C-alpha cells in the first residue's frame, strides 16, 4: 500500500513510516534525502540509521529521487528534498522530478513529509516559494497514494 505521512517537526513521522515498512516481506529500501551539513544534522542522520537497523538498504540521494524507485521503499523526506533543490538553485525542477518518481512508484511505498503551511506566512519570498512548492508537492502525492496520515504528538491520524 502507498502511504503519505505528514506532520510537524518531531511528531513521529519517521517512526510511523518504519512501523509500516517493517510489515513488508522481502528486501526493504530507505531513500534518505538529508545532507549532513553540520554536526547536529550528522547526529540526527546517525540516530535515524540506528533506528532503521539492518532491515533496510539505505540509499542517500539529496536531489534525484526519481532515479531510486524501488518496491518496498520509504522516502524520508520530501521536506529536505525540496530544501536541497532550493539550496542548489534548481527548485523549478521539483515538479518534473516528483512526477517522474510518482509515475514509477511501486505499490509498497511510504513517503514522509512535513506540513509547513500551518503557521505564519513567511516574510521573505524564498521561504514563501518554498512553502508553496512543498504544499503543492504534498497535494500531488496525497492525491495518488492509498492512505494519508497526519502525525500529532506521535499519534497517527488517518485522513485518507
Q: What is the pLDDT of residue 144?
A: 97
> Which residues belong to the active site?
48
pTM: 0.94
Task: Report all structural domains of the chain as residue ranges with CATH numbers, in order of start.
Answer: 2-158 (3.40.50.300)
Alpha-carbon distance of 116 to 68, in angstroms, equals: 25
The pLDDT tens digits of the residues spanning 31-78 come to: 999 888 888 888 888 888 888 888 899 999 999 999 999 999 999 999
- Exposed (0-12), middle (13-18) or buried (19+): which is 108, by Cβ within 10 Å? buried
In the predicted model, residues of the chain with pLDDT beneath 50 are none
Amino acid at each position: 500500500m502507498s502511504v503519505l505521512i505528514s506532520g510537524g517537526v518531531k511528531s513521529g513521522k519517521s517512526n510511523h513510516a518504519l512501523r509500516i515498512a517493517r510489515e513488508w516481506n522481502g528486501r526493504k529500501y530507505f531513500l534518505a534525502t538529508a545532507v549532513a551539513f553540520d554536526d547536529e544534522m550528522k547526529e540526527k542522520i546517525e540516530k535515524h540509521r540506528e533506528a532503521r537497523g539492518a532491515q533496510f538498504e539505505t540509499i542517500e540521494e539529496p536531489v534525484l529521487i526519481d532515479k531510486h524507485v524501488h518496491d518496498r521503499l520509504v522516502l524520508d523526506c520530501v521536506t529536505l528534498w525540496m530544501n536541497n533543490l532550493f539550496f542548489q538553485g534548481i527548485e523549478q525542477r521539483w515538479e518534473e522530478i516528483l512526477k517522474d518518481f510518482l509515475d514509477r512508484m511501486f505499490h509498497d511505498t511510504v513517503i514522509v513529509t512535513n506540513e509547513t503551511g500551518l503557521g505564519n506566512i513567511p516574510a521573505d519570498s524564498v521561504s514563501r516559494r518554498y512553502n508553496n512548492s512543498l504544499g503543492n508537492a504534498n497535494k500531488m502525492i496525497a492525491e495518488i497514494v492509498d492512505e494519508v496520515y497526519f502525525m500529532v504528538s506521535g499519534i497517527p491520524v488517518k485522513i485518507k
